[in-house]
Structure 1
């Protein structure tokens, strides 16, 4: 298993899409605070911010970055191995398919966590170096920072398990990317449109990672239940979709 994980980690480090996504997020994370600091608005006073205030904005933006980049990375890191023949060579090397998928999911999820942390972490570092870390009025700033980063790690892994299942089911990276983007970007809208006709969908959505991720980045969680759900739901989601992915990969015909 260790050899499989090391092999997948090597492939991820050499993957051009992963490198490109990381580079783009780093550039965006550096440019975002610099632009706000050095480019004043045409009308009105210059916008002032602290590092933690910039972090709050970056976390909200990062939700959309994460949804987009996960699908792209899954398509080029997982689905593309069908067409390149790498998946067939790996499957015929002697390891069980459960181990192969487990190693691939573990490394892909780790890559997703790296991508999820780049934009908010670099933004708060750059913002703090320009104007100081600052404080929040509703909650301790340091506590909010580490709590939100912790939840970001959990939810990034949960989203990665869903994207990996979609990618493993596709033989074409283009289809995998397209379906993942449509799913992650429009699941909230589709849920709102379907709720009047199927009320049960709203209940499912309220307890899903898609809704709870937005809840977890709020200044204050409304109750201990929100805290507990934000901790357990992404873990259970990761476990459930990991098992579904293993089952799908075991039944998948690899040509």
Structure 2
């Protein structure tokens, strides 16, 4: 298992899609806050408000959409290149192969998801001043939740990525799925009240509560922490089952 993890880690570091997405987000992290200087007559925002409203406000889309692109290249493309067949015939069990792939893909998704909250926050502090920074407890709580939800969404992406054998189809499907999944879930909750509690406590809904973690208490905090962990485990098992049954050509 250790060798598989090292192999997948090496492939992740060398993956051009991962490198491109990483550098693109780093560039955006430094350039986007500069737009605040172009707003005539408006005072520069304080870092705490900028972190809550601008960074975390749009960060949900980063967590769901950008790693979808990586999934197509890091997981699905190995089918078309024959890499998956070589790995499957190496003597390692498919269960180990899948979880090694999932673990490293989750690491890649987490790295991508942390760029804006960490680098853009630092850049905005340099530009706007270090006064009124986010409280450390709130900042660390949001960072921790971003890690959990990035891994949870990565496990969902991995399941769909092994169903397709073409990276373009995977990327297109995942982008459309995560962009529009909220609407059918709302309709389902309205039409079938039985599903409403399940949908309300799914990662698709709870991810929007990361920004208000400091306003949650007791059971709400437990739910927002436990659900992504359970999601990662559940979809990891589903994906491993599908992979073991899948014919690899």
Pair in the same fold by TM > 0.5: yes
More helix by share: 2
Matches within 5 A, 1:105-116: 105-116=102-113
Q: TM-score scaled to structure 1, two decimals?
A: 0.93
Give 3-state SS (helix, strand or coil) of 1:196's partner: helix
CA distance in structure 2 between the partners assigned to 1:219 and 1:18 by the alignment = 29
Q: CA deviation at 1:89?
A: 0.4
CA distance in structure 1 between the partners assigned to 2:239 and 2:187 by the alignment = 28
Matches within 5 A, 1:67-78: 67-78=64-75
Q: What corresponds to 1:150 in structure 2?
A: 144
The answer to whether residue 59 in structure 2 is matched with residue 65 in structure 1 is: no
Q: What corresponds to 2:214 in structure 1?
A: 220
Q: CA deviation at 1:168?
A: 1.0
> Unaligned 5+ residue runs, structure 1?
none
Q: TM-score scaled to structure 2, two decimals?
A: 0.95
Q: What corresponds to 1:185 in structure 2?
A: 179
The answer to whether residue 95 in structure 2 is matched with residue 98 in structure 1 is: yes
Match of 2:84 among 87, 96, 110: 87
> Unaligned 5+ residue runs, structure 2?
none
Q: What corresponds to 2:25 in structure 1?
A: 25
Q: What corresponds to 1:46 in structure 2?
A: 42
CA distance in structure 2 between the partners assigned to 1:196 and 1:143 by the alignment = 36
CA gap 1:200/1:70 in 2 versus in 1, 3 angstroms: farther
Q: CA deviation at 1:34?
A: 1.6
Give 3-state SS (helix, strand or coil) of 2:42's partner: coil
Query: Aligned residues, how many?
Result: 248
